[in-house]
Structures are given as structure tokens and as C-alpha cells.
Structure 1
């Protein structure tokens, strides 16, 4: 099936009052698992390649993008392709020739004023090329290389009035907000501020994005979608499933040297995780 534009999938989800889950790709097995999980769930999804994943692949965007896009086109599921957490302007500008319809440009580490300027420049560049741009306001925290962040500390969460002003000043198409989750959580213990999500939904004229969803319990994700969250990003949960499956296989078969033997159950574990999250986000049940 042709790759679907991310903005189209987000708009459809918002119109239906559903969420749209977006999953991070690191290896070919991740991409295959996301496609398989989406097919199993009968729901659309987004395959995301982050700047950190690009660094893992030697700073070369082309190969992992081509492989991920090929998996998406071969799938019967409706899948989007998204470049995630881009801080490098050079990488941002590589998105268009590589066929991405959307980019999350991350200037959240900058001061508010510098964030607005950098993001507005990214939006201007992207919109001239038909690229949908997501940005972040607030401090979700937990990314590699960042100090630990208390998601409940004063000043961390996104303020609705500031978010509305930011969206107007930058022209972004979607906004990732800090509402109690954190990146790279391996335990699902995050408690979200659902009243804040509702206030942000009412104040901000673009779809809201939840980062760090791997650490959010099922009921909290369902409630977040019902409160107004649209795009729901999942990364660490796939890696947790992958690693657990590999570890279990190798411990049970210590003489195994063929990686296909342990990558197959790892891929299947990730596909099950994808289907599970899609079940949470693609309906309001």
C-alpha cells in the first residue's frame, strides 16, 4: 500500500476522536514488527525514525529510511513515515529528498524565544515543501544524554496560554506537550495530568502529541486520548519487548549463534506490543 502522509492520519484520528500511535524504528525488525502489529490490529500507525536512530546507523539516513519505507509499502496497513526528534537543521533538510511527509523538529532545549525562532524557521522551510511539522513545548525529559527530570517538578509542564501563543507564533501542525510522561521509561508508572490535557486541547488549535507513552499505563493512555491527546509516541516499550525476548531465547539456548533464531521471537514480541498500543489508541473504549 502507498505510504500515507502523517498529517492525513493525524487529521483522521482527531476527527474520529481517536488516537494515532507512532512507533520508533531502530532496526529492520522494528519496522517489520510495527507493520505486522498494525495489520493485526486493523489500525493505521506511523513509523518514526529519530535523530538518535540515524546516529546509530552512522549518521546515514538513507538506508534505514529506504528499508522502513519498503516495509511500509509492502504492508496492507495504512502507515505513515515520520522523522522524529530532529535537532539538526541539516537532518531536517534531508527529510524532503528522502520522502518524509512529516518531521518533529525539537528545539525544546532552547529558551522559549530561541525555540520559537528556530521552530518557525523549520515550519516555514517545511511548509514550502509540503512537510507537516511537529514541535515540542515544555520538558518531557528522559532523552539520552539528558539529566533525570522529575515530570512533576514546577515549571516542567506545558502551560496552555504559552502553548497557544507558541502555536500561533510558529505555525506548527502539531504540538508535543509535557503532561506527566517522560521518555525512556521501562516501567509503566507515569501519572498524567488529564485536566491539563483538556485545557491544552481547548487552548491549542493543533493536535496534541504525547511523548514518552511507553511509561504510561493502559488506562492512562485511554483517558489521555479521551481528554484530547491525538498522536501517541511509543519507543522504549518496543525495545523492552525486543530485549526480553532475545534474553529469554539466549538463556534457554546458550549455544545459538544464528541471529535469526532470537530475532524472530523478538520481532514477534514487538508486533504484539504494537498491536496492544494500537488497541488502546485507536478507539475510545
Structure 2
């Protein structure tokens, strides 16, 4: 409970420091539960939806204390589903967070191409207001499968790997059992998908790129039909940002980081 109170207090404090420019997503950022400024971007975008259903889905929700949807649940009274593949994290989520918020379910799911239907079948809507995907691995393949099946969230948040650079359209090879190797210096950067590959995929399904957040972890896309046209056309987001944590860890920009991926199998999109 203390951690939740701290997160809500942090959100209240940092949100008040903003000087919002509706055209520049970097000015929307604040952090309560999110790792970086995602809470602010999500909060602002959801308020711009023309006909909201106040429903979210997050795949990779962790224990609910550091994710992209707890702010919506606590601060905005959204309902939805949090999926998590790690059993220990899910237990903490169900014990410490979900009892405090009504209308939010927690489910165990190590998502793969074989079980994406479970996400769709459990959702109340085929077009929830907000969908977050952060599984540190097969993200591209899962997003593509969901979109192919007609699942179309109004706002789609995805993690990208800045080590691939701003223009290389790349992803890792699909492996249903993939798990990021956090403890290995050489293998740590082998995960996920580039921002350029995300832009290609979402453009195919009619989405509009909004921005990445300034610490270079998440990117945001919207279904433009769900927002006022003038707002959509005026957006001036950040096209690419270095992952702040990777920059600190490796002490070099993406051009140096990608060197560690020379012997890894990467697929061009």
C-alpha cells in the first residue's frame, strides 16, 4: 500500500510540473507507476479519444507497481486486464494491487503466437482504448498476429530496442520460449524490434505514429479515426531516442551497441 501511495503522489506532483503543448508529446510526460514518462502520454492520449470505452489491456504488466496501466486503473478508474508471464510477479500483482482496484483482472499468460486468441477472447472489446505490449522479446510477432486478427486498440504502446538504431527495420528471430538474458552483457541487447520496423507494421494497419518517450523505451501509435483530425495532424513527436538505461550500461550510443549483435540472427522487416 505504501508503494501505491508513493506512486500516486509522484504522479500528482510530476503531472503538475508540466507545461503542456498539445502538439508535442514530450510535454505530456509524467511518471507515477510507469518507468519513464509513459503515464503522462497515456493519460493525455486517452483523454483525446472521441468515444472512449475506458478499458485497457496490458501484456507484460509485471507486479503492477511499474507498468503502463496502473495509473489508468487507480487515477482514471479504467477497467481492464493485466497479463503477466512471470508467476511470482502475478502473485504480487494479485495480492498487493488488484484488491485495491475494481474491474481489473490479472491473468497468467506467457504469450506466444499459439495463444494470442486468449488475449482477444478475454477482452471485453476488440478496440480497447489502450493496449500495452512489453514482453522483451517476440513483441513484433505478437502485435502483428493481433492486428491480423482484427484486434485494433485506439492507442497501442510498444517497447522498441534503440540498439537497432533509428532507421534499421529489424527484429529478433521468433522463438516461442524466448526470454531476455538480463544477466549477460553480450546477450542483453538481443531482444525486441526496432522503431523503424514498428512504424512499418503500424502504418500497414492504418495507425499514426505519435512519439517515443524521451528515455527511449516505449513508442506510441494511435488509430486516427478515434481522434479529432486536427489533433492527429498537428502531432510533432520524437521520432527516436536512445534507451537511457542501455546508454548508461554500455557507455556508447546505438552505433556502438549494435556491434554486440553482429553474431545474432536478426530479421529485416
- Same structural fold, with TM-score higher than 0.5 when normalized by the shorter chain: no
- Give the TM bin, normalised by the shorter chain: 0.3 to 0.5
TM-score (norm 1): 0.32
- Structure having the higher helix fraction is 1
- Compare relative contact order (CA 8 Å, sep 6+) and give the higher one, 1 or 2: 1
TM-score (norm 2): 0.33
